[in-house]
Structure 1
């Protein structure tokens, strides 16, 4: 299973999302992130990916969640989810991503992965969570999920 990260910069009850321009989830709003490279920790991946995708430097991102994505019967990704309240730089569009700020109440869930609406409220509140989300083999429809909160990392 491919280890990956997602990071959600948060400021004043707003979250920074990106509209992904290529790869898995193209066209959807997600958090900046990507695959963990050999020799990297998930935290190091988070810092690198946010810088690459939106030109923002995050400092001291906090791990708040982790989950597995399964497509059909195939485990696809194990994702470490971070929240960042300390960062520097102005988000900029890159070939990978178009960043946009959203109020917590106006997150565009209809343009995101189906599971996001289940766990993002915990991300916003700072509560930890762990989940497993099973989609059809194309990754289009969520067919099962498990979600636990108050997890220790």
Structure 2
């Protein structure tokens, strides 16, 4: 059954979760960014942002798409610059973030890989760390801490589980800026991509 998508989203989607209230914020342009994650076994590689936007939060590795770059080129460049590794990244999802008063939206394309080459290395911007997304009962390696949602963006708890499950997703988050400079979600919607039968059969 088709669902009504928030403005700015498109595709053959089924709703996964939504929340908040009020109308969706309007915007007149998108600015493209990437965010890349390496997933191995029951672990995911995140980076602690050391400066700039999102400082002291854990996130994937990424940033702005530069003129002349494709999305995948930008994702691979940012992963190399911020974590010192190369990986066979594949597109995993899309997120649209809108902040009240901005007039433009972050269009963040999410990439993931299940292998990499090199050694995760701290950079001027990010400190890579492994985290476990396994349940406590099945996590044999107690030295790997669980995903630190309390020090991540508020929306990550909704879509990161879809990423580690390998489910392609699309989402939108509207925010307002609080007095302390932090962002507070006012409305959110996340959905999973419905694969065509022919596409499913070929995998």
**TM-score, normalised relative to structure 2:** 0.71
- Structure 1 CA distance for aligned equivalents of residues 50 and 95 of structure 2: 23
Give the SS at the match of 1:35.
coil
In 2, Cα distance between equivalents of 1:80 and 1:114: 18
Map of 1:116 onto structure 2:
156
State the shift of 1:85 in Å: 1.1
Work out the CA distance in 2 between the residues paired with 1:9 and 1:70. Answer: 26
Offset at residue 139 of structure 1 (A) = 4.8
Judge conservation of contact 1:63–1:80 (CA < 8 Å) in 2: yes
Following TM superposition, by how much is the alpha carbon of 1:76 offset from its aligned partner in structure 2, in angstroms? 3.3
1:144 to 176, 187, 196: 187
Establish whether residue 71 from structure 1 lines up as the match of residue 111 from structure 2.
no
TM alignment of 1:1-153, pairs within 5 A: 1-59=30-88, 61-74=89-102, 75-105=104-134, 106-137=146-177, 138-150=181-193
Task: Describe the SS at the equivalent of 2:183.
Answer: coil
- Equivalenced residue count is 151
Moved over 4 A (4+): none
The CA deviation string for residues 78-103 of structure 1, in whole angstroms up to 9 with x for no partner, is: 00001111210110111110110000
The structure in which a higher percent of residues are helix is 1
Structure 1: gaps of 5 or more residues: none
1:129/1:151 contact within 8 Å kept: no
Distance 2:52 2:133 in 1: 26
Q: TM-score, normalised by structure 1?
A: 0.94
SS, match of residue 122 in structure 2: coil
Q: Choose 1 or 2 for highest CA Rg.
A: 2
Considering fraction of residues, name the structure with more strand: 1
Query: Following the alignment from structure 2 to structure 1, what is the Cα–Cα distance between the partners of residues 42 and 83?
Result: 20
